[in-house]
Chains A and B, each alone.
Chain A
Amino acid sequence: MTGALLSVARRDLLLARRRRVEALLPLGFFIIAAGLFPIGVGPEPQTLRVIAPGVVWVCALLAAMLSVTQMFASDHQDGSLEQMLLAPQSLITVVLGKVVAHWLSSGVPLVLMAPVIGVLFDMRAGSIGTLVITLLLGTPILSLMGSVGAALTLGLRSGAALVFLLVLPLTIPALIFGTGAVGAVDSGLSAQAHLSLLGALLIATLLGAPLATAAALRISMD
């Protein structure tokens, strides 16, 4: 099982590396969208520090959705998805492999870029650290939930827009706990409760989302 998971993940990462520009688009979106806020809101350090966690999280959400819509699109187009559905390997394993590859190629760059955005917003070192931890826990949730949306809207003409509408409301809990953790650290409290809830959310999504994605793929391909 792990063998199939790793080979699917390795193949998708290889594909991302061959299409580097496409793979880096969400990161570019993340940087530019977050960079617009200081210009729009004004360069007041106090204001920026307050809105920073929310801005980083919302931009990360949108950037993740931007790339997740393509998770199954090309495999659907060239027939690879049919073969994945027919494979003796369980479809859940294949889905997990694709989610892992998506997180590594688009989630991790967001996590790595977050401290830079934090500095741009004049965040304190402690807050930046917490922000990175919340994104580390939160971006896999986005990839997992996005995979469900991508599978459900497979082959639809306005599928990408539908993924945004379907999945973004579901990510609200992650957004609340993610920004809440940074807010708690800012006001001198412990972020542990928020981080625990975020971790619990990740575990629940990890258990449920691949099943839902596999079922949605079977329905979409019928």
Chain B
Amino acid sequence: MSRVAIGRSGSIRPVAQRPGLTLAAWRAAQPRTPLSASSDPSASVDVATIPGSSGPLAAQGLGCRRGRRLLFSGLDMRLEPGSITWLRGTNGSGKTSLMRILAGLSHAAEGEITWGAQPLRRAGPEAMQQIIYVGHANALKEDLTLAESVAFLGVLGGLDEPLGRARRALDHLGLASRADAPVRTLSQGQRRRGALARLALDDAPRTWILDEPYDALDAASCALLTRMIEGNAARRGAVLLTSHQVVSLAGAREFDLEPWRRA
């Protein structure tokens, strides 16, 4: 397994490989494919792609319009089982918009989202259960306790025994002592961890769509989140994330929005 460092400089570098290669030269050597980093053999070593599979969650010819601006168009993307995809782009390039479209929250101006062989909109509850979207907002209620808030997210996700699961998940994220505290008394980082606790509600492989999950987390929590993301990929789930922080993810692929930008 090769480790890839995602740095603030905005590059994915296979660490300790191609030592003499500059970033620009390395990038120039990459053929332009829809998923630019997937062609990097060192990054996709442990990504067991199913030959001929359409992939569970995929986008074809996706275009997004915000007001009168066309943010991007003709975008193709595929979240293969077992893959970690780091979505890159400048501020306002449409990362959050793309994630909301992929999660099924927003309509795309053009193109289609598919789940397996069928459109996501018609894929039904089974598909929705497989996709977890964690946005900028934490989806925790100020007046509920942390455990109650996370348990409700479990109920929405169709899980049984939600309160027990929520407590175990919070324990996993080091929030056991705060589980019965009202969310309004928690710090920003604790709230973020609480929001991410829903990823640990069960062990099923799922498609995670995480918008800036590393936001407000301390170093130990960042490492824990990295382990959770890698764990989901190892269970043959798929992860799509954005991050401005320095994180190190095994087998992460880079997906740059730049080639599809229109605005």
Contact = CB atoms under 8 A, between A and B. Distances in A.
A94 B152 CA distance: 12
B138 A79 contact: yes
Interface string A67-106: 0000000100111101111111110001000000000000
A72 B163 CA distance: 24
Nearest to A80: B139
A157 interface: no
Q: Which of B141, B152, B155, B156 has the most CB of A within 10 A?
A: B156
A15 B141 contact: yes
A86 B138 contact: no
B148 A14 contact: yes
Nearest to A81: B139
Contacts of B107: 222
B144 A11 contact: yes
A88 B144 contact: no
Contacts of A87: 128, 156-158
Interface stretch (B51-59, B129-137, B169-177, B222-230): B129-137
Contact of A15 (B104, B106, B125, B143): B143
A176 interface: no
Contact of B135 (A74, A82, A84): A82
Per DSSP, chain B at the interface is loop
B180 interface: no
A78 B139 contact: yes
A15 B142 CA distance: 9
A222 B126 CA distance: 22
Contacts of A7: 152, 155
Nearest to A219: B107
A78 B136 CA distance: 9
Nearest to B209: A86
Contacts of B142: 78
A86 B136 contact: no
B186 interface: no
A221 B105 contact: yes
Given A82-B105, A222-B105, A88 B128 contact: yes
Nearest to A94: B156
B257 interface: no
A155 to B, nearest CB: 13
B157 A88 contact: yes
Contact of A88 (B106, B126, B135): B126
Interface of B: 103-107, 125-126, 128-129, 131, 133, 135-144, 148, 152-153, 155-158
18 contacts: A4-B155, A18-B144, A78-B138, A79-B135, A79-B138, A79-B139, A80-B141, A82-B105, A82-B133, A82-B135, A83-B156, A85-B104, A86-B131, A87-B156, A87-B157, A89-B158, A90-B125, A222-B105
